[in-house]
Amino acid sequence: MPGDLDIEQGKTQNGLEMMDRERRWLLDMVKDESDQQTIDQYVERESILERDLVLANSDISSQKIETKFPKCSTYKTAHGIFNFFGRYSEAAMKNFSEVSEADIVRICRFLKCTDSIPQIIFNIFSNSRDKQMADPFHSPGKASARYDEMTVYRVWGKELIQVSFPHETTHIVAHSLFTPYKLKTVVDTADGGTQEIEAAMVGTAFFQEGLAITLNEIEFGLKYSSPTKEEEFVDDWVRQGIKYSGWHFNLREMINMDGFDKYGSPIGPAVAGSFCKFLINQYGVETFLKAYQQLSELSSTEQNITSIGNAFGVDFENLSRNWISSLNN
């Protein structure tokens, strides 16, 4: 999968697991014994908010503290817990939490699931390096959704200044709607390598990406961006890709992850976004979610194609043809 897969296993997380993850992250960052002692003291504490207390009593130089232990503050809203690992002002953190809370509610309204709004954790880092260290998959992406923790890991700082960033939040909300299945897969890591993981999944990667991109466009008016091209609305992107950049793709093949991965960015996400936007606009979000729920990476492409046809009441070839002609109108 190119870039970030945005998936992980399981769903619930208790405080102990949180501490364990924190511990692993911190251990990754320390090398000498005196630091190790400080980490042990920290890990024994019950709350991450107490990290500063431990540090205040430690003999680690302030410069080392600055680089190894970014300041952490926690804010809570009705549906979000926001852990800030970085030096932000109180006003900025409060604003970030309120804006993100409003995004969660807006996404749930779009998906018609306001009666079961999930609780989402946001771990916010001021730079990519810290985000990658803390992210259980060490993904190089600036924002990642980790389903087993119902957590968004993201950068908020010079490298990514937007407060509202509904893409990953959409992944988490959509994931919370259905019972996940387990999938073994390989993801990219920050050091340029790969890592095998078992991930909780709902739907297929194509539909997950397509839904997040569509919701970003329709509900938030946000264009899709890729490292290789300036941001663009996905329909324009696909139209221009076909016309000027010689894009050739087999939509059928993309429905399952192997095919979706093969095309990479920007073709994969742009096509997923454009096709899913067409489906939602034509058939409504309830019908779209019916299909979303039935799709699985464990099913063959043929099975998934049949499920799509059944959910929309139109066979896949017709859906595909109608989508392409909608782009040309």
Which residue's CB is nearer to Zn ion, number 117 or number 212?
212
Give the distance from CA 118 to its chain's centroid.
Answer: 15
Alpha helices (H) in 30-123, listed in sequence order: 33-44, 51-56, 62-68, 90-110
Least Å distance, CB 60 to Zn ion, is 37
Which residue's CB is nearer to Zn ion, number 6 or number 101?
6
The token pair at 244 is: 């000027």
Separation between Cα atoms, residue 104 and residue 106, nearest integer Å: 5
- Contact window for Zn ion (CB under 5 A) among 86-94, 133-141, 156-164, 205-213: 205-213
Tokens 């771990």, located at residue: 123
Which residue's CB is nearer to Zn ion, number 54 or number 272?
272
Question: Which residue type occupies 318?
Answer: N
Binding to Zn ion in span 162-201, by CB under 5 A: none
- The order of strands in the sheet holding 72-76 is 72-76, 80-85, 120-125, 151-155, 143-146
Least Å distance, CB 213 to Zn ion, is 8
Least Å distance, CB 6 to Zn ion, is 5
Separation between Cα atoms, residue 168 and residue 308, nearest integer Å: 24
- Contact window for Zn ion (CB under 5 A) among 12-20, 131-139, 174-182, 208-216: 208-216
Q: Which residue is nearest to Zn ion (CB)?
A: 6
Binding to Zn ion in span 4-43, by CB under 5 A: 6
Per-residue x/- marks for Zn ion, 210-229, CB under 5 A?
--x-----------------
Closest of 115, 116, 122 to residue 97, by C-alpha: 122
Which residue's CB is nearer to Zn ion, number 48 or number 174?
174
Separation between Cα atoms, residue 294 and residue 178, nearest integer Å: 10
Which residue's CB is nearer to Zn ion, number 60 or number 211?
211
Interface residue list for Zn ion (CB under 5 A) = 6, 212
